[in-house]
């Protein structure tokens, strides 16, 4: 996926105008960040990293920053009524507000995306403390979700200026989550084109694979999905739009409960999905289950795999193959009261796709859940 260009191919069109080093952090606005931090540590194996709140001079909000390998989660809650954060939580429930992208030049990232039609969230600002300085800027994406550009080459503090290191006596072990593999957005009816164009034209992303609603439909629900990727392939944003089916699409259910477009799932990578999922289940994470028949046909569909079938079946781990290899994946149930945000655990063994072969089995599992919620 790495694009290599010879010197004479470096025309202005070929130069990535928005080089991104990776996902910097994900910030969730939540009803109770103190308790959410405990949940992400206990259940998902995150560790303390940083804190900002009353004790660091903030008056209106508190944030806990947790880390697991390259994944940083910021959990933020307002400390009083009537705040923008509070309104966001009232409307959407707990959810992802900021998808921060690590760049070398936050001013240029802002300039380049704004001149291509981005909607500003935050003009470039320089935050400083005794550990150096960080430049941040931000633009809106779908719904009320935001991309922040974070430039931290002159910073060696624990997270960002304004945060102090967080050290508690509670250190549940990691579950082996490594990095954000991809992050999926759900957008409204008829909005796919708009957001594919946004990532292509404004951020310079390219479309990776495409499948229409005929590829992803069950008897009842359907959706369209397109995957946008940045120049070096480190950032992958699949986008879903509901499609017409006999009953309500799971994407439509999300849009109803989130009250608009937003992040549907965060896929995090592991090097050993059997160990990771065993640990997550022991710590109370609920996963979607496919019927046992899925495993009867599995090896016919995907061919030889390194793993034994039995632990995969016991844990409900799914497998899919593409031209380059295969992948193992599993999806949690929503992690908040509204059927909105959930996590995917993924282990790639060569495959660069997203598990299209599993979508039908998966959607039927989601429909069984929707049935129980009375939202099918």
- List binders of Fe ion among 239-268 (CB under 5 A): 267
Comparing CB distances to Fe ion, the nearer of 201 and 271 is 271
Task: State the Cα–Cα distance between residues 249 and 241, nearest whole angstrom.
Answer: 9
Comparing CB distances to Fe ion, the nearer of 143 and 238 is 238
Give the closest residue to 299 by CA, choosing from 315, 277, 314, 321: 321
Backbone φ and ψ for 331, nearest 5 degrees, come out as -120, 135
The least CB distance from residue 64 to Fe ion, in Å, is 26
Three-state DSSP state, 315: helix
Comparing CB distances to Fe ion, the nearer of 163 and 205 is 205
Three-state DSSP state, 210: strand
User: Does residue 192 bind Fe ion (CB under 5 A)?
Assistant: no
User: Does residue 181 bind Fe ion (CB under 5 A)?
Assistant: no
The least CB distance from residue 265 to Fe ion, in Å, is 6
Comparing CB distances to Fe ion, the nearer of 150 and 318 is 318
The least CB distance from residue 345 to Fe ion, in Å, is 10
The least CB distance from residue 254 to Fe ion, in Å, is 14
Strand-by-strand arrangement of the 206-211 sheet: 206-211, 222-229, 236-243, 177-186, 262-270, 342-349, 325-331, 318-322
Count of residues that interact with Fe ion, criterion CB under 5 A: 2
Comparing CB distances to Fe ion, the nearer of 73 and 267 is 267
Task: State the Cα–Cα distance between residues 174 and 185, nearest whole angstrom.
Answer: 27
Identify whether the C-beta of residue 332 lies closer than 8 Å to the C-beta of residue 340.
no
The least CB distance from residue 39 to Fe ion, in Å, is 21
For the four alpha carbons of 267, 269, 274 and 277, in that order, the dihedral sign comes to negative
- List binders of Fe ion among 328-357 (CB under 5 A): 344
Comparing CB distances to Fe ion, the nearer of 159 and 343 is 343
DSSP 56-120: GT-SSEEEEEEEETTEEEEEEEESSTT-HHHHHHHHH-SEEEEEEEEES-HHHHHHHHHTTTPPE
The least CB distance from residue 242 to Fe ion, in Å, is 17
| Residues within the interface to Fe ion (CB under 5 A) | 267, 344
């Amino acid at each position: 996926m790495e694009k290599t260009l010879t010197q004479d191919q470096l025309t202005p069109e070929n130069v990535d105008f928005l080089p991104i080093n990776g996902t910097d952090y994900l910030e969730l606005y939540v009803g109770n960040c103190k308790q959410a931090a405990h949940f992400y540590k206990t259940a998902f194996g995150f560790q303390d990293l940083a804190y900002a709140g009353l004790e660091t001079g903030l008056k209106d909000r508190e944030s806990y920053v947790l880390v697991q390998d390259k994944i940083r989660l910021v959990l933020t809650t307002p400390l009083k009524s009537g705040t923008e954060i509070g309104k966001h939580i009232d409307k959407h429930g707990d959810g992802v507000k900021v998808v921060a992208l690590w760049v070398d030049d936050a001013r240029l990232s802002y300039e380049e995306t704004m001149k291509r039609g981005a909607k500003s969230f935050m003009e470039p600002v320089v935050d400083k403390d005794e550990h150096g300085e960080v430049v941040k800027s931000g633009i809106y994406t779908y719904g009320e979700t935001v991309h922040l550009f974070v430039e931290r080459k002159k910073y060696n503090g624990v997270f960002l200026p304004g945060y102090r290191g967080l050290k508690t006596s509670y250190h549940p072990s990691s579950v082996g989550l490594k990095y954000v593999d991809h992050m999926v957005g759900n957008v409204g009816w008829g909005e796919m084109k708009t957001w594919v164009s946004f990532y292509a034209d404004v951020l310079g992303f390219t479309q990776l694979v495409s499948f229409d609603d005929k590829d992803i439909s069950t008897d009842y629900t359907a959706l369209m999905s397109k995957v946008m990727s940045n120049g070096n392939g480190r950032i992958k944003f699949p986008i879903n739009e509901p499609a017409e089916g006999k009953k309500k699409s799971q994407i439509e259910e999300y849009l109803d409960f989130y009250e608009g477009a937003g992040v549907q799932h965060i896929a995090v990578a592991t090097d050993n999905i059997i160990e990771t999922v065993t640990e997550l289940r022991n710590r109370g994470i609920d996963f979607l289950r496919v019927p046992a028949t899925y495993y009867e046909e599995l090896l016919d569909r995907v061919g030889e795999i390194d793993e034994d079938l039995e632990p995969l079946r016991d844990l409900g781990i799914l497998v899919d193959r593409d031209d380059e290899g295969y992948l193992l994946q599993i999806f949690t149930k929503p992690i908040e009261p509204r059927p909105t945000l959930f996590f995917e655990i993924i282990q790639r063994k060569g495959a660069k796709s997203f598990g299209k072969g599993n979508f039908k089995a998966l959607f039927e599992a989601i429909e069984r859940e929707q049935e129980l919620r009375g939202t099918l």
